[in-house]
Structure 1
Amino acid sequence: MPVRPDTRSLPSRRDFLRSSTAVAIAGSLVGTLSLSRSAHAAGDDLLRVGLIGCGGRGTGAAAQALNADDNVKLVAMGDTFGDHLQKSLANLQKQSALAGKIDVPPERQFVGFDAYKQVLDCGVDVVLLTTPPHFRPSHLKAAIDAGKHVFCEKPVAVDAPGVRSVLATCEEAKRKNLAVVSGLCWRYHTGKRETFKQIHDGAIGDIVAMQVSYNTGGLWMHARQPHWSDMEWQLRNWLYFTWLSGDHNVEQHVHSLDKAAWAMHDEPPVRAIGLGGRQVRTAAEFGHIFDHHAVVYEYANGVKLFAFCRQQDGCAVEVNDYFFGTKGRCDVMKHRITGEKEWRYQGAESNMYQNEHNELFASIRNGTPINNGLYMSRSTMLAILGRMATYTGQVITWDQAMASQEDLTPPSYEFGPLPTPPVAMPGITRFA
């Protein structure tokens, strides 16, 4: 059986976000102490890393962080489940390239909903936030309040209150001179960077339309065990619950939407309308999210973004992005431009996941911390806006979405009953 998380009564995310002002004041005092240490670490001193969220993505991020700098060490790990933590630690310890860079004794292995607090209190300089997305806003805020540099996996929220919190936290990170690097990895891809430079320099003229697709088969699912509570079952299958993942158009398709946002210089659209549903993946073990979404976003200058995503087995797989301009067209995934100007990126490639951490740690060492806060928040909100449109069947404006008071937080973070919400029904489900 897995090690049981701490089930003591903990503050809800609503309480956490509502108390942000008081926490910010207290955090500024903690941050003052941590900042002096971070500045000291900007030379060649040891940078201590903490991992919060020990799933597959967290394990990969930890390895990349440890490979990014010669003098870095993983010293603390935290996860809701002990079995996740132990599996992650074992996998990291097997990697010969990481020898001498892992020092996580039992007293720095933390399990439970409040494990992130204990990791932050371990004297770490950098934290990797790789839990299910629901927890990102509160974990990010706690990390910045504590004066830590952050790698922040995508998406950064599942609802508008979470996005607003992240935006405020990233402004605080700027004031504290702390790095916040996003897991929207295509922005760190060599070929994509050169391709988007061409687009921004006018190689396809003015953009008039964009089409992005993230159509795949189904993902993993863990069969429910008799001893699991509703909460444990949902956490272990977090992909399929909107409060945890945001739905797959937020959790996965955000990569495609982020590339469209990049092309538009991260200016948000005016409105969105969409359709979607749950046609194939209908069994109870798949929670209540949709298995397909199609959204049209409209920008103030008339540009339209056509965005599609699907998770249905047996269907054509397509993950592509096409941008159409007055002078040509760009096939983003092939780094190719056709039209008045013919261009194709033919340079060397590098690992975008590793690049994220290389640049994060270099920016800490150089005293010029990266802050990806604005674009990671807006791209996340772009995806949430799409979900709002598909769930309700209504035209939803960006301003409406940003002002939404819908908070997907469960009543409490406790292992016990937690009913699965009903599947959204367009025309019946209301915007909140």
Structure 2
Amino acid sequence: MGRKGTYSRREFLGASAAVGATLVLPKNVFAQGSDTIKVGLIGCGGRGTGAVIDAANADPGVVLWAMADVFKDRIDGSANTLRDNLKDRYKVTDDRKFVGFNAYEYVLMSGVDVVILTAPPGFRPAHLRASIEHGKHVFMEKPIATDAPGVRSVLGSSEMARQKGLAIVAGTQRRHDVAYRECMHRIHDGAIGDVVACYAYWNQGGLWMHTRRPEWTDMEWQLRNWLYFTWLSGDIIVEQHIHNIDVCLWAKGKLPVKAISLAGRQARTDPAYGHVFDHFATEFEWDDGSKLISMCRQIDGTASRVEELVVGTKGTSNANTVIRGEGAWRFDGDRPNPYMLEHRNLIQSIRSGNLINEGRQVAETTMTAIMGRMAGYTGQEITYEQALNDKVVLAPDHLAFGPVPVPPVAIPGRTS
């Protein structure tokens, strides 16, 4: 079992070195020369549990081999669900259930072939680096970091994966949706002409919140409510709205150079919701002067809208099912679950040796969203280079179940 005591951030980021010097199997060979793919789950919440089911649906060779989480009750709940769903492909024994901040290390040493990284995003850079150093193929949920140092770490890990012949697929599932892929192919072939503007929306009501219990330390409270703390989630523009931003970057084919944002915390003001904002309205600008207008909101009682719009010189598109204009088109075909397809594409790439590596792509989208958050928090225009080179580390110095002060809510014009 993983230890639960003090675990410094330096130890956490460097722990992977202890497990890095291991034998890496050829990229299309699995344990004992079989077609069985042993999967390890790191982060046993709802998304991680769902990701294992998606992976099992994607390939009959997938078995769940090991699990890790900071909380035993999360492992137990996930295990119950997965045992019922996977049947005889659930292979996790009690000695391969690991608890603690360093539990991920034990999964990596348990004989798995592929790891699913679904702990809160603030942990993703360290988990990814350890996984690649240990020679594992990776599925990792988005976003892949919550600050610029984390993004830079992921960029380095992605290059390491390329050099070591390892696959990385990210949870930006629209990139694997057959309708999005077909539509984007047509956009890139000129169906709407030059892309001159994009609009991205994720507006909805509020999400879950777990009321603090008297016995919870600051750390436990924050981990169980990770959405509401920037060091863990990145705030809503990074954690959720990244999907829509990613589609627009995909359509445009390059990164924006700067951003300005009007954002705040208007309705969700109770300290139970940490210190994150509840809305952002952000203008991203590319080097040719074209704009991405981005809106995200989590406020009950407000109008919902989750979509993208791409505007070209010859037409427009919702980026997945419809193109209007000179190259008019409508998607008409089977549309399998993209959450399953991202795992199928990962596994097929490993089996074939034509490895997918989405690490840089999702890191750059994450960085774009972080740039938008920085613009929102400060009220200033922020450039991509300024954001990428930022040195602020959001995570606490020590990962331990004890006091963790909550930063003040950002105030545009005052927060730097």
**Smaller-chain TM-score bracket:** over 0.9
| Aligned position for 1:65 | 55
Superposition pairs for residues 331-410 of structure 1, below 5 Å? 331-332=318-319, 335-410=321-396
Identify which range, 344-353 or 44-53, moves more after superposition: 44-53
Instruction: Note if 1:29 corresponds to 2:21.
Output: yes
In the alignment, which residue of structure 2 is the partner of 1:82? 72
Are 1:238 and 1:245, in contact at CA under 8 Å, matched by a contact in 2?
yes
SS of the aligned residue for 2:89 comes to: coil
1:50 aligns with 2:26: no
Q: Output the CA distance in 2 between the equivalents of 1:183 and 1:102.
A: 23
**How far off its partner does 1:7 sit?**
2.6
Aligned length: 416
Q: In structure 1, which of residues 299, 320, 334 is the aligned counterpart of residue 286 of structure 2?
A: 299
1:416 aligned residue: 402
Q: Structure 1: which amino acid aligns with 2:313?
A: T
How far off is 1:277 after superposition?
Answer: 0.3
Equivalent residues of 2:260, 2:376 under 8 A apart:
yes
Cα displacement string for residues 50-90 of structure 1 (whole angstroms, at most 9, x for unaligned residues): 00000000000011112222222111000010111000010
- Per-residue deviation at 1:131? 0.5
* Identity, % of aligned positions: 52
Give the Cα separation in 1 of the matches to 2:11 and 2:383. 28
Letter in 2 for 1:261: L
CA contact (8 A) 1:38 1:125 kept: no
Are the equivalent residues in 2 in contact too, given 1:48–1:75 (CA < 8 A)?
yes
> Secondary structure at 1:29's aligned position in 2?
coil
Aligned to 1:285: 272
Q: Cα RMSD between the aligned structures? A: 1.7
What does residue range 137-216 of structure 1 map to in structure 2 within 5 Å?
Answer: 137-216=125-204
Query: Does 1:276 pair with 2:273?
Result: no
* Residue 8 (structure 2) aligns with: 11
> Separation in 1 of the partners of 2:81 and 2:94?
16
Q: Is the 8 A contact 2:202 2:306 kept in 1?
A: yes
- The alpha-carbon deviation at position 320 of structure 1 amounts to 1.5
Shift of 1:390: 0.3
Q: Does 1:308 align with 2:285?
A: no
1:328 aligns to 2:315 (yes or no): yes
Shift >6 Å, 4+ stretches: none
1:14-55 alpha-carbon deviations (Å, 9 max, x no partner): 5555x59xx66x76632xx12348635597432111000000
How far the C-alpha of 1:94 sits from its partner, in A, is 1.6
Contact 1:43 1:366 in 2 (8 A): no
> In the alignment, which of 404, 413, 416 is matched to residue 427 of structure 1?
413
Kept after mapping to 2: 8 A contact 1:39/1:367: no
Q: 1:325 to 1:182 in 2, by over 3 A?
A: same
Change (3 A) 1:280 1:47: same
2:101 corresponding residue in structure 1: 113
Q: Following the alignment from structure 1 to structure 2, what is the Cα–Cα distance between the partners of residues 85 and 415?
A: 18
Q: Is the 8 A contact 1:213 1:308 kept in 2?
A: yes
- Once the two structures are TM-superposed, the CA of residue 152 in structure 1 deviates from its matched residue by 0.7
Contact 2:30 2:36 in 1 (8 A): no
Runs of 5+ unmatched residues, structure 1: none
What is the CA–CA distance in structure 1 between the aligned matches of 2:147 and 2:337, rounded to whole Å? 31
Unaligned runs of 5+ in 2: none
SS of residue in 1 equivalent to 2:88: coil
Structure 1 residue 341: Cα displacement: 2.1
**d(CA) in 1 for partners of 2:368, 2:229:** 19
Determine the C-alpha separation between the residues in 2 that align with 1:207 and 1:46. 44
Separation in 2, partners of 1:351, 1:277: 34
TM superposition shift of 1:373:
1.1
- Residue 236 of structure 2 is aligned to residue 248 of structure 1: yes
* Structure 1 counterpart of 2:21, one-letter code: L
Per-residue CA distance 1:297-345 (angstroms, 9 max, x = gap): 1101121000000000000000111111111111235x11111221111
Aligned to 2:114: 126
Cα–Cα, structure 1 residues 38 and 9, in superposed 2: closer, same or farther, change >3 Å?
Answer: farther
- For residue 39 of structure 1, give the secondary structure of its aligned residue in structure 2: coil
- CA, structure 1 residues 94+315, in 2 after alignment: closer, same or farther (shift >3 Å)? same
Tell which deviates more after alignment, 357-366 or 177-186. Answer: 357-366
In the alignment, residue 99 of structure 1 is paired with which amino acid?
Answer: K
* 8 A Cα contact 1:50 1:76, kept in partner: yes
The 1:45/1:346 distance shift into structure 2, 3 A limit, reads: closer
TM-score after normalising by structure 2? 0.97
Partner Cα separation in structure 2 for residue 37 and residue 365 of structure 1: 8
* Closer, same or farther: CA 38–196 of 1 in aligned 2, 3 Å: closer
Q: How far does the alpha carbon of each residue in 1:129-157 deviate from its partner, in whole angstroms, 9 at most, with x for none?
A: 00000000000000000000000100000
Q: CA deviation at 1:121?
A: 0.8
| Alpha-carbon distance in structure 2 between the residues aligned to 1:139 and 1:209 | 36
Instruction: Tell me the amino acid that sits aligned with residue 368 of structure 1.
Output: N
Contact between 2:27 and 2:350, CA under 8 Å: does it hold in 1?
A: no
Please state how far the C-alpha of 1:181 moved relative to its aligned partner. 0.6
Q: Which residue among 84, 101, 115 is the counterpart of 1:94?
A: 84
Taking the aligned partners of 2:234 and 2:275, their CA distance within structure 1 comes to: 11
